[in-house]
Structure 1
Amino acid sequence: MRKFLLLFALLISISSFAQNSKIKELEEQRKQALRDISNTDKLLRDTKKNTTTLLSRIKLISNQIISRQQVVGLLNQEIGGISDEQKQIEREITILESELKDKQKSYAKAIDGMLLNRQNENKMLFVLSGKSLTESYRRFRYLKDYSEWRSKQADDIKEKSDQLKERKEALAKTKSEKLALLGQRETEQANLKKEETNYQEEVGEAKKKQGELQKILTQKKQQAAALDKQIAKLIAEEVARQERQARRIAEEKAKAEERERAKNAGSTKTPTSKPKSTTSTAPAVSAENVTLSNTFSGNKGKLPFPITGNYSIVNRFGTHQHSQWQVTTSSNGIDVQSQSGAQARAVFDGEVSRVVAFPGYNNCIIIRHGNYYTFYGNIQNVSVKQGDKVKTGQSLGLVYTDPDTGTSQLHFQLWQGTTKLNPEPWLRR
């Protein structure tokens, strides 16, 4: 029975550790969602309310609702986790109380036996009254072991008492935490209800201006399509340039090797046949490109956001149907809104391959990271130039702030060669 209790206690302890880790992970996710909500709150306060910003405001509020729903969901999971933890602690307390009771009973029985035999006062007589030296020694060892056992029993009882006290305190703490989370959930649910009402009001206002908004969306769609076309062209040109450079390096290396072989063979004549070229196969890639590419891909999910300050993604990668406005938009990247004065920043080490201007997107920058490319659009004052080496987090320039709306939006894209990628999974939250 004792072995079973010990095994059961061990299993509960392992389960409790895993439960605590899960609760901490949920708490971190909730804190991140609350930070997102705080960022969006600030952006909403900074965004002037007019027709042009109605769509941005609706998206910000929609993001707010999603984050708030996430917080409520995480709170529910935390509350469930703490309830499970309470049950585990209660089971541990039951086991500890049982073990403590057994030890106290065993110790009390030993004390009663000692008082009955009055061995404590007659130890020497008990040892010397043995029929032989061997028996006297055995009695001496018995008394010594018995004394150590009693001392250990007393220590075990104290240890179990301390453990029992600690688990009862832990139980009281989890009950307090659960009450606090229940209160917080009630607050978050009330906030969610307000935001959903606010969202409906903004959507209602937008419906009254459907014609204007449809024109705005159509114009943005046309600008985005033109931008994406130009970016794809620039990226393709850059990839082709890198491939030509790689082929040239490979050919020069092959010629040098051929000359070296001819020299070693004692030939002084120029070879009439051309050395084998690598142009018909995949171009050689420089060591720098390989290193940058491998390091870049190894940082998926860890890259910093390409903008400073409080930010929120207002337009996401891919094709989106705006059924209310009867417009379908498509984007090869994401639009990140931040506060006035926000800086665009490099998400990784690389080299500035292009600095160009596009209608509706001001200045734009392309940075090469091996065979990966990042694009930063809508920059007002550029602080880098073509050929510059940049470091992770380095400022690239001031993001343009629309004086009529008070918003600063950065358009960001990510490419692997000529393949467009969704940037979001690559960025650190």
Structure 2
Amino acid sequence: MNKITRKRIKLQRKENLNKKLALQVLFSIVLVGAVIFTKQLDTDLSKQFLNATNEIMTESIRPKEIGNSVKEFFSGVAGKIPFMSNNKTEYVAPVSGKVYQNYGMVKGEDSSFYNHGIDIVSNTQSIRSVSGGKVTQIGNNDKLSNYIVIEDGDRLIIYGQIHQSFVKEGDKVSKGDIIGALNEESMNLHIEVWEDGESVNPAKLFKIN
């Protein structure tokens, strides 16, 4: 092994050592921050995390183990902290049932069309407002039959195939309010969501059970 090769190996080892030390320092900082944050929660989950942290600190600083502990901890509490939660609590399903026609291009035997909403076979007659808002229009046409339009900020939510409406134009509704009923013979609901002149897949806002 010549001098140049030995020098390169020495430099590589030194770089690897520096990287390892840097990772240890970084994870130590993250761990300290996590400990401070955890002490504020005072829950069973936080106590378990603190105990695990004490064990790790007692043995040695292993970046991989610390990283996994921090990751598992925050995964467990994320859903319990409002600003860290990813659940769709802003919207609720209008009915319970099954989607029989999805959003997007629908291909038939003779023709195709673009479905700007979803169609649901409902288990219940009552229709709930998926969000809060204001009733801006109630009408009837060939495509939607009887329909209700509710304005929710920048979004328009259209409920079609309605048999009976329980609201009138100008009414303000809250999330979960019953706004109408379906025909007990067909029990089909068509719902569309529009934003900035374009349709949005309603299935991204709520889950049909």
TM-score, normalised to structure 1's length?
0.29
Q: Does 1:337 align with 2:121?
A: yes
Residue 237 of structure 1 is matched in structure 2 by none
Give the one of 280, 294, 302 matched to 2:90. Answer: 302
- Per-residue CA deviation, residues 343-386 of structure 1 (Å, 9 max, x unaligned), is 11112221111111234644210112233211001111211111
Cα separation, 2, equivalents of 1:20 and 1:389: 41
Report if the CA contact (8 A) 1:350-1:370 is conserved: yes
Unaligned runs of 5+ in 2: 1-55, 77-86
Match of 2:59 in 1: 6
Q: Secondary structure of 2:163's partner?
A: strand
Cross-structure match for 1:420: 199
Q: Which whole-Å CA distance do the structure 2 matches of 1:333 and 1:315 have between them? A: 9
- Measured in 2, the distance between the counterparts of 1:328 and 1:342 equals 30
Task: Give the counterpart letter for 1:420 in structure 2.
Answer: S
Residue 379 of structure 1 aligns to a residue whose secondary structure is coil
Higher strand content, 1 or 2: 2
Percent identity of the aligned residues?
Answer: 23
Distance of 2:66 and 2:154 partners within structure 1: 49
1:228-247 per-residue CA deviation (whole Å, 9 max, x = no partner) reads: xxxxxxxxxxxxxxxxxxxx
Contact preservation (8 Å) 1:380, 1:400: yes
In the alignment, which residue of structure 2 is the partner of 1:321? 107
Amino acid at match of 1:427: F
**Structure 1 CA distance for aligned equivalents of residues 160 and 121 of structure 2:** 12
Letter matched to residue 394 of structure 1: D
* Deviation, structure 1 residue 10: 7.8
Aligned to 2:31: none
Amino acid at match of 1:387: G
- The answer (yes or no) to whether the contact 2:90–2:131 under 8 Å persists in 1 is no
CA distance in 2, matches of 1:414, 1:382: 19
Give the partner amino acid of 2:183: Y
Q: Following superposition of structure 1 onto structure 2, how do residues 90-105 of structure 1 map, counting pairs within 5 Å? A: none
Q: 1:8 to 1:364 in 2, by over 3 A?
A: same
User: Could you say if the C-alpha distance between residues 5 and 11 of structure 1 is closer, same or farther in structure 2, counting changes exceeding 3 Å?
Assistant: farther
Q: In the aligned structure 1, how far is the partner of 2:137 from the partner of 2:57?
A: 70
Instruction: Report what 1:358 is aligned to.
Output: 141
SS in 1 for 2:59: helix
Per-residue displacement from partner, 1:204-235 (whole Å, max 9, x unpaired)?
xxxxxxxxxxxxxxxxxxxxxxxxxxxxxxxx
Query: Where do 5+ consecutive residues of structure 1 fail to align?
Result: 25-298
> How is 1:140-159 mapped onto 2 (pairs within 5 angstroms)?
none
- Aligned counterpart, 1:173: none
- Distance in 2 (CA, whole Å) between partners of 1:375 and 1:12 is 50
Q: What amino acid does structure 2 have at the position aligned with 1:385? A: K
DSSP-derived class of the 1:15 partner: helix
Q: Which has the higher helix share?
A: 1
Matched residue, 2:30: none
Measure, in 1, the Cα distance between the counterparts of 2:197 and 2:143.
24
Secondary structure at the aligned position of 1:424 is classed as helix
Structure 1 CA distance for aligned equivalents of residues 173 and 57 of structure 2:
63
Are residues 6 and 326 of structure 1, via their aligned partners in 2, closer, same or farther at CA, if it must alter by over 3 Å?
A: farther
Larger radius of gyration between Structure 1 and Structure 2: 1
Note if 1:311 corresponds to 2:97.
Answer: yes
After superposition, the Cα gap between the structure-2 partners of 1:329 and 1:301, relative to the gap in structure 1 and judged at 3 Å, is farther
Contact 1:364-1:379 at 8 Å conserved across structures: yes
Deviation of residue 6 (structure 1)? 1.8
TM-fit CA distance, 1:302: 3.4
